[in-house]
Structures are given as C-alpha cells and as structure tokens.
Amino acid sequence: MLIELGVVEQRHQAVLEVLDGLPVSEVARRYGVARQTVHRWLSRYAERGIGGLADCSTRPARCPHQMPAVVEARIVEMRRSHPRWGPRTLAHYLACEQAEPLPSRSSIYRCLVRHHLIDPVPRRRRREDYRRWERSSAMELWQMDVMGGVRLQDGRELKVITGLDDHSRFCVSAALALRATARPVCEALTAALRRYGAPSQILTDNGKVFTARFGPGPGPVLFDRICSENGIRHLLTAPRSPITTGKVERFHRTLRSEFLEGRSFASIAEAQAALDAWVTHYNCRRPHQGIGMVAPLRRFAAGEPRSLPALPPAQLAPSLAPAVGRRAVSRLVGATGKISYCGAEYRVGAYLAAESVEVTVADGLVEVRHHGVLVAQAAARHRPGAVPTRGRQPQLRAHTAGRPVLRMVDQRGSLSFAAAIYRVGNRFCGQQVEVRLVGDVVEISQAGELIRSHAAKHDPIKESGAFAVPGGRPRRSKASENEIAV
C-alpha cells in the first residue's frame, strides 16, 4: 500500500534518520538533496521544531542600507511643499541640508512612488546615453524668442522677449512689451548687448521681427542690421522646427510654471519688476538640472564677452550705418548663380538668379546675404585692397512706346510670351506686368516703369497669336469646364 507523504513529513523523517545516527551524506543521497539542505533542516528543527520545516519566505529580516525614516519623512515633506521638484532637485536640497546618509536619486524616486507622490514611469534610456548639443563656452551663442501669456488685471496680454546663453542657460534678456514688434525686440537686444557684450552668434526662429527670410520686404530687417553692425552672425532655424531653439523654449516652460502660473499684474511696470526679481533668482541662486545643479551664473561668469560699440537709442532706426570694416555692397545674381565682386566671381546659387544680394567682406571672408539671410560664404579671392564699385542696380526707367500685352508672372518669377519663357524676377511673382516688343527686344514693365529687357527669343510667326490675346489667356472657371466636359 502506497502512502503519499507531505513535504514537511518527508523533511521530518530525514531529520529523524540523522538523529538516529545515519550519516548526513547518505540521508541527502536518499532524498535527492544536497548535504547543506539537510543541515539547514536540522538547524530549523532545533530552533522551531516541526513548524520550522515548512516553506518560508526568503525575504531578509532587515535591510542594512534602508533609508532612515527621518530622511524619508523629510523627502515626503519637501515634495508636498514643492510638487514640481523631482528626485534630482530633492537630492540637491538634501545635500544642502547635509542629510546623513544621503540617498541616491533612484532611492528618492522609489520613496515618492511608495507614498503615491509620483506616478511610476517605464524604464527609459540612461541619461548618459543622450547627447546634449550645446556650445563649449559662454557668449558663443544666444537663443532669442518671444513668449506670450503675461496677464494684466485689465485683460491685456503682454509679450516677453527672452534671450538665453546656450552654454550657461543664463538669461540675458527678459523684457515685457504690449506688442512684440521690431522696435521692442531690437531694444531688448540692444539692452542685452550693452549689459553683457556681443556674442559670436544669435539663433532665432523665422519670425518677421527677426528676419526678412519669408517676408515681403526687399532687404534685411532692423534685427539683422544690429547683428551685422556688431559682428554677430545671425542663425535661423529650419521652418517649423522649434526643437532647434529647445533651450529657450524650455526656459519658457520654467517661466510659466514657476513665475506666471495663477498670477496677474496691475501694470507693465509691476510685471517687469516682478519678472526682473525672478530672473535674478533664476540666474544667481536657482540650481539648473541641465548644467549639473549649479546656478547659471557660475557658468556664464567663465565667458569673456567681446567688446562692442554701444548703440544709443537714437540709432535704433532703419537708417543704421554699416559697421566699420564690413562695408555692404549690392550685386545682382547672374543666370548661372554667380556674382562679381572686385573682379572675382563668387558662387551664390542658380535659384537666386536675377535677385539682388548684399556682399560684405571682413577678415578675408566674403559673406553674401539675401533679405538678411546668409546664403553663401567663401574666402576672399579678389585682390587685397580693391575697392568695390557700387554694382549693377535695377534702375527703373520709363518703358519704350509699343503695343502692350498683359501677362501674369508665375510662381517661378517668369512669364510666357509667344510660346517663349522670359524671366521677370521672384519679387513680381503673382503680379501682372506689361510686355512690349520693340524691334528685336522684349521689354517688361509695370506701372509705366521698365523692369527687365530681353533679346527676343520667340518665333516671330507666333507674335500675332500673342497680340491677339492682349489680356492673356482667360482663366477657366469650374462651371465652364463642366459645360465643356458635357
């Protein structure tokens, strides 16, 4: 007859056999366990009797490196007083209080999870695996932007013109304005330049107050001209790419959460005074997680600002004179995408053909800008000391008498006349111009002034067809297209 024995009964029987005098090795071989296991059964049977032979938890009775209750209570108190402080910030302030022993960041995180003060997050990549892009020293690059959300008690909203040093995260500009137009933005830039000096570069987005890259204007805006006067290279982000100016965008998030949340101000002066006090705290005392939990002032003080001529407010006008040593001259880009400067050719790009660009030379470097945007850069190849001429300018003069034909300039800056394509210019895209045939020259004019002239390259046989439709080919509406289809 077979009798099934329980686990505890089998262990008890093995212990009794050893106590009756059988060797431990023989008993372990019969029960299929190690000798150490039999000795453990004997110890537990001697301490707690037959109840000690049952399965029990392997959890240790105590944890020698467990966080002290006093430190854990202090972490919970600090977190509840400052809900936005994370494990790293809490660890920094615990170190300032000289808490012993100082817990690690992961221990603080588990403490917050135990007390339901933070939601557990899935495991992510290690922080050291991320590559942080930043300049190597202060005053190499500033990031500037405009942020809204500052409320007045009368319902108006103010804009903040912000500037941040890329290396140190030091706030160099935080000026309030009712409208972030060109003048307030340039005044904030000029004030920052007077106070801290000129950086090597400034990075902004493509706002119209910063650049004429996508604007209708023919030349650089005031912001670009101030940068050019002070030897600052103006960098622009790609369209719809706010991550490029991520540091100043992250500063905006801190500004909203720590300063603006739930606040309104009676006047602009009161708001500016409160903002200046907060910026002082941010720059000088608040530890920054992105730079090793030190105040931005410690990193910014290591940079050496470049000297620059101070700009009085009276010079903040579109008629700013060019900086010394950086005389700007205009050139028209040829059909091959090249310009001529002091007898040397420089490539700009065929996409800018027939467009006007500005050329500046400094320290042996030729820089070409189109609407204030740097489009080409090359080492100087012309003779040293050569004086540039004024260059060809698009001189508008009265058109020659002739039979006019109206044409619409397409999106590529060209028009069609007598089945031939003639170049007009990108600034006339979508506009209506007049075309006249004078001898063997095709003249293009607008509002009585000549824009371009070309040698005729069309077939003379097709001229009659072009003059037969002087207003251009009529545009078909959808209704007429449906009638034709029927």
pLDDT of residue 315: 43
**Model pTM above 0.85:** no
Q: Which fold has domain 69-121?
A: Arc Repressor Mutant, subunit A (1.10.10)
CATH architecture of 141-300: 2-Layer Sandwich (3.30)
The domain ranges of the chain are 7-53, 69-121, 141-300, 325-379, 404-478
Backbone φ and ψ for 202, nearest 5 degrees, come out as -130, 130
Distance between CA atoms of 204 and 137, rounded to whole angstroms?
A: 19
Our CA angle for 275, 288, 137, nearest 5°, is 100
**For 445, what's the count of Cα atoms within 13 Å in the CB-facing half-sphere?**
20
Other CB atoms within 10 A of residue 313 CB: 10
pLDDT in tens, 161-176: 999 999 999 999 999 9
Contact between 145 and 248 under an 8 Å Cβ cutoff? The reply is yes
pLDDT of residue 53: 87
| Mean pLDDT per 10-residue segment, the chain (486 residues) | 70 90 91 92 89 82 80 90 89 84 89 88 64 83 94 93 95 94 93 93 93 76 91 90 91 94 92 95 91 90 53 39 53 82 83 79 79 77 68 47 82 84 81 85 84 83 78 54 46
Please state whether the peptide bond connecting residue 101 to the residue before it is cis, i.e. omega within 30 degrees of 0.
Answer: yes
Tokens of 127: 């922080």
